[in-house]
Amino acid sequence: MSASWALLITCEHGGADIPAAYAPLFDGWRDALASHRGHDFGALSTARRLARAVDSAPLLFSTTSRMLVDLNRSLGHPGLFSEATKGLPRRDKDAILARYYHPHRDAVAAVVAEGIAADRTVLHIASHSFTPRLRGVTRHCDVGFLYDPGRSAEKDFCRNWLRELACLDGDLILRRNYPYKGVSDGMVTAFRRRFGERYLGVELEVNQRFALGGDEALGSISETLADALQRALGRTAS
């Protein structure tokens, strides 16, 4: 990877932990916590593999469930708090934000700012995963790459990563800006506005069928993604 680039890996939905102080709020939500609503299955494992693959890139993650507060939602977004927490008094929500939301977002922003201050272009890959079926509809995709199609650097990088991944495994179903739009509300969308053209934000979406298939299946797709990422970074830096 070129010295003019800095890679950052994050995972906002890496676990379904609920702090003890808030556990009583979730007595009726145990099934939801254990489902894809609680966290992104396999996303943290994939993030760790990507970080190890490329010069030990910094990895920032959270294992606090998004049902407490969603670190990938902007302040004021209706999905910031879940059904279990949205009815809390304002002071309690502010306490959750201060303890779990702002520290993660501020830590990611600090790494980005440091890279830009060192005159580097920062590539931020946020590792996520999606449920194979949602509301009765099967999602025909194995890996999705979310980016802003109006930003040529993000578009070119995702095209290279997708191409390298397809070369390594031609059976994978790969899609761009699916199952969500790359410009929807999220950390990378907010950071594009905040940091400008020296910041590239990409959300990686991996089908949870790999994580649900066991360690071997998840390890295989994570390894392939990491290998393809290394090749794509070589193309980007050349």
- pLDDT value of position 237: 56
Pair 130, 203: CB distance under 8 Å: no
Per-residue pLDDT of the chain (238 residues; tens, 9 = 90+): 566 889 999 999 999 999 999 999 999 999 999 999 999 999 999 999 999 998 879 999 999 999 999 999 999 999 999 999 999 999 999 999 999 999 999 999 999 999 999 999 999 999 999 999 999 999 999 999 999 999 999 999 999 999 999 999 999 999 999 999 999 999 999 999 999 999 999 999 999 999 999 999 999 999 999 999 999 998 665 5
Q: Under CATH, which number does the domain 5-237 receive? A: 3.40.630.40
Joined tokens for residue 116? 């830009």
Q: What is the residue type of 160?
A: N
Cβ-in-10-Å burial (0-12, 13-18, 19+) of 135 comes to: exposed
8 bridge partner residues: 124
Instruction: Give 3-state DSSP helix, strand, coil % of the chain, rounded to 5.
Output: 45, 20, 40
Q: What is the residue type of 18?
A: I
Question: Rounded to an integer, what distance in angstroms lies between the CA atom of residue 177 and that of residue 210?
Answer: 20
Pair 125, 146: CB distance under 8 Å: no
* 202 Cβ contact partners less than 8 Å away, ≥ 6 residues apart: 123, 124, 125, 126, 145, 146, 147, 154, 157, 158, 182, 188
Distances in whole angstroms, Cα of residue 231 to Cα of each of 2, 7, 110, 237? 12, 14, 27, 10
- The H or E element spanning position 171 is none
Longest dimension (CA), the chain: 54
Reported as a single tens digit per residue, the pLDDT across 160-181 is 999 999 999 999 999 999 999 9
The pairing of beta strand 121-130 with beta strand 199-207: parallel
**pTM higher than 0.85 for the full model?**
yes
Cβ-in-10-Å burial (0-12, 13-18, 19+) of 124 comes to: buried
- pLDDT value of position 56: 76
- pLDDT value of position 26: 97
Distances in whole angstroms, Cα of residue 128 to Cα of each of 99, 114, 144, 167, 202? 22, 24, 10, 22, 10
Distances in whole angstroms, Cα of residue 75 to Cα of each of 31, 69, 72, 105, 185? 27, 10, 10, 11, 10
Residue ranges per domain, the chain? Answer: 5-237
3-state secondary structure 190-219: HHHHHHHHHEEEEEEEEECHHHHCCHHHHH
